[in-house]
Amino acid sequence: MTWQQRIDGALEQRRASGSFRTRQANEHGSGRYLVQDAHRYLNFSSNDYLGISQHARVITAWQHGAEIYGVGSGGSGHVTGYNEAHQQFEEQLADWLGYPRALLFISGFAANQAVIAALSEKPDRILADKLSHASLLEAAMHSPAQLRRFAHNDVASLQKLLAQPTEGQQLVVTEGVFSMDGDEAPLADIAQTTRHAGGLLMVDDAHGIGVIGDEGRGSCDQQNVKPDLLVVTFGKAFGASGAAVLCSESMADYLLQFARHLIYSTAMPPAQAYALSASLNVIREDNFRRSQLHANIARFRMGAARLPLELRASQTAIQPLIVGENQAAIHLAATLRERGFWLTAIRPPTVPQGTARLRITLTASHTFEDIDRLLEALHDATC
Ligand SMILES: *Cc1c(COP(=O)(O)O)cnc(C)c1O
């Protein structure tokens, strides 16, 4: 088989499975409206949960940061790239979340890869929730440690795996809020079970941080849990991009020695760290954004319960409507698009076979009228 035959074969297989991925540039994509080809759609697919991507104060901070520091960091943080703007934002994060240290990464994907790669050795075991994000599962799969998945949100299943004898260390990995289902992990029980077995706990709170709990401190703070490694990302509620790992002094020092994604990669632009710091101030202060989001979630759920689609138990901004077959999900998304709504059909392999869905994300930028209009369109398309 030649290279070209292998690539053509893989593409053919994807097309046949109904899971072929495409993307199309838009003119504007992160706010309440998505604009594409001069059409304006109500956007129900954005992770900008609090509407901060368009916040004037954050935009001004990014501009101001670029004026002070320029647009690039100039190198790895281990050479010249680590700037006072990074340091100040890290200190602000550590203080907000109650950890000794925070380390910035260029993305959540990089942070998860880096941490898992830096920690795992051959006899170790990584025990991850079955529905963990691809960035976690793939890192574990490619690590020298053995990956075992426990049943979703099932502490007994985790406990059983932890109890199996091992010569190595055990790293337990889960999320605060699951990205495709919107449900929340029983973090207190998971933390207790992990600690009891002498394991290390890593929680990825990409979808909880900023949105859940007092001052938006996230799932762990709300459940009164302090994982050994807390990963927060800035592409969702923070409205920008990037990530941080919150941890102990020694863990931070360890990661600075061994996290290759930090050492061999250009640091985030200082202007971005400067803007993220402004974004964090907005997150802490603007309780009304979280209140609006939670009111929107309640309104959507009340209406969606009357539709002939499976609504999951999610209390978060992620509200999946399970359609089932791939083609049916694509068709429903297309029908809604014609009526002016932007929604994405999520299909296997991102979600399990037979659970193709519309992943609806609600944000603080939506009004009750936006939500009612979506519910009416969903009703017309499915009833
Ligand atoms: C979005 C997401 C990531 C990846 O973060 P990026 O900053 O977008 O790379 C990691 N984990 C979870 C659970 C996510 O939802």
The predicted structure's pLDDT at residue 310: 87
Secondary structure element (H or E) that encloses residue 148, with its range: strand 146-150
Annotated ligand binding at 207? The verdict is yes
Q: Do domains 26-50+286-382 and 56-285 have the same CATH topology?
A: no
Write the pLDDT tens digit of every residue in 181-235: 999 999 999 999 999 999 999 999 999 999 999 999 999 999 999 999 999 999 9
DSSP string, 170-193: EEEEEESB-TTT--B--HHHHHHH
pLDDT at 19 over 80: no
Q: Is the CB of 179 under 6 A from ligand 1?
A: yes
Write the pLDDT tens digit of every residue in 138-185: 999 999 999 999 999 999 999 999 999 999 999 999 999 999 999 999
Please return the burial class of 258, using the count of CB atoms within 10 Å of its CB with bins 0-12, 13-18 and 19+. Answer: middle
pLDDT at 364 over 80: yes
The predicted structure's pLDDT at residue 22: 85
Domain 56-285 has CATH 3.40.640.10: yes
* Domain range annotation of the chain: 26-50+286-382, 56-285
Rounded Cα distance between 15 and 17, Å, is 5
Stated pTM of the model: 0.96
Q: Is the CB of 204 under 6 A from ligand 1?
A: yes
- CATH number among 3.90.1150.10, 3.40.50.2300, 3.40.50.11540, 3.40.50.300, domain 26-50+286-382: 3.90.1150.10
Write the pLDDT tens digit of every residue in 85-111: 999 999 999 999 999 999 999 999 999
The predicted structure's pLDDT at residue 20: 85
> Ligand 1 centre from 234 Cα, in Å?
9
The predicted structure's pLDDT at residue 17: 85
Whose C-alpha lies nearest to ligand 1, atom 6? 108
Can you tell me the mean pLDDT for 318-324?
A: 95
Write the pLDDT tens digit of every residue in 270-304: 999 999 999 999 999 999 999 999 999 999 999 99
The predicted structure's pLDDT at residue 161: 98
